[in-house]
Structure 1
Amino acid sequence: MGDISINVNMLAARGAILERNAVLRNVASVPSSIANPTVVGRPSFESAMNAVLQRGAGGLSGPNGAAPTGQASPSQPTSFASTLKAQLQKVNQLDEADSSAAEAYERGETTDIAKVMLAGQRSSIAFEATLQVRNKLLSAYKDVMSMQI
C-alpha cells in the first residue's frame, strides 16, 4: 500500500516537472515576451517565473514560518530587476529548505525520505530553471551587443 502512494507521488512530481519544462520552453522560445510582456497568448517573463517557482515551492514557508518574501501584489507594477531579485530569493529559499530537510533526516528528526527527496528535487529544478533563464538572458545580451546600428 505504501509503494502505491509513493508511485502516485512520483507520478505527480513527474507531471509537475513536465509542466515546468513546458512553461520554460515557452519563455525560452519567445524572447519578445521579455521585451513586450503584453504579447497575447504568451506568458510574460515575470508571470512564467512566478508560476514555475510557486509550483516548485509547493507551499513552503519562510524560515520563521511566514510566507516567502519578495512577492509583489499583482496590481503593483514591478521592474525586471526587482522581479528577478524576488525569484532568486525564492530559489534560495528552496535551497535552504532542501538543506534543512536533509539535515533533519541526517539527525534522525524525520524519517520520511520521500519528503526529503522531493525537497531536493524542487531545489534542483528551481536552480536548473534559473540557470536556463540566465543562459537565455546572456544569449539575448550577446545578440543585442552584436547588432549593427
Structure 2
Amino acid sequence: MDSGGINKVLGELQATAQAAASKPATSVEQTEGPSFGDALQNALAEVSAAQKDAQQMAKSFSAGDPNVNLQDVMVNLQKANLSFQQMTQVRNKLVSAYQDIMNMQV
C-alpha cells in the first residue's frame, strides 16, 4: 500500500481543519502519544508484514516444507486478507470524511 497518498490526505485534512478554525499552524497543541498519522503508518506496516508472512508461509508449504501445514497457511492467509480489508475500510472512511470536510461551507 502507498502511505504517501495517505500522508497527503492527512496533511490536507489538517490544513483544512486549521483554516476552518482560523488558527495558524503554530498554535496547534501537541498531545502526548503517537499522532493519528503515526498510528495509521504503523497499522499499514502491520498489514504489510502480515501479508508478507502469509505469502512466505504459502511458499514454504508449496515447496514441501514438512514444518508447515495447510491449516496454518490458510489461517494466516485469511488473517492477512481480513487485515487488508479492514485497512481498506479505514481508507474509505478517511476519504469520505475528507470529502465531507471539503464540501462544508465556511
Aligned-pair distance for 1:99? Answer: 0.5
1:143 aligns with 2:62: no
Structure with more helix by fraction: 2
CA deviation map 1:69-124 (0-9, x unaligned): xxxxxxx6010111100010000010011110100000000451000000100000
TM-score (norm 2): 0.67
Aligned to 2:45: 89
1:99 is aligned, of 40, 55, 58, to 55
Residue identity in the other structure for 1:87: A
Mark the runs of 5 or more structure 2 residues left unpaired by the alignment. 1-31
Give, in whole Å, the separation in 2 of the partners of 1:103 and 1:94: 14
Distance 2:54 2:47 in 1: 11
TM-score if structure 1 supplies the norm length? 0.48
What does residue 122 of structure 1 align with? 79
Q: How is 1:57-76 mapped onto 2 (pairs within 5 angstroms)? A: none
Cα distance in 1, alignment partners of residues 60 and 69 from structure 2? 10
Q: Secondary structure at the match of 1:109?
A: coil
Count how many residue pairs are aligned between Structure 1 and Structure 2. 74
Q: Which of structure 1's runs of 4+ aligned residues deviate more than 6 A?
A: none
Which structure has the bigger radius of gyration?
Answer: 2
Task: Point out where structure 1 has 5 or more consecutive residues left out of the alignment.
Answer: 1-75
Mapped to 1, the partners of 2:45 and 2:80 lie a distance apart of: 12
Partner of 1:112: 69
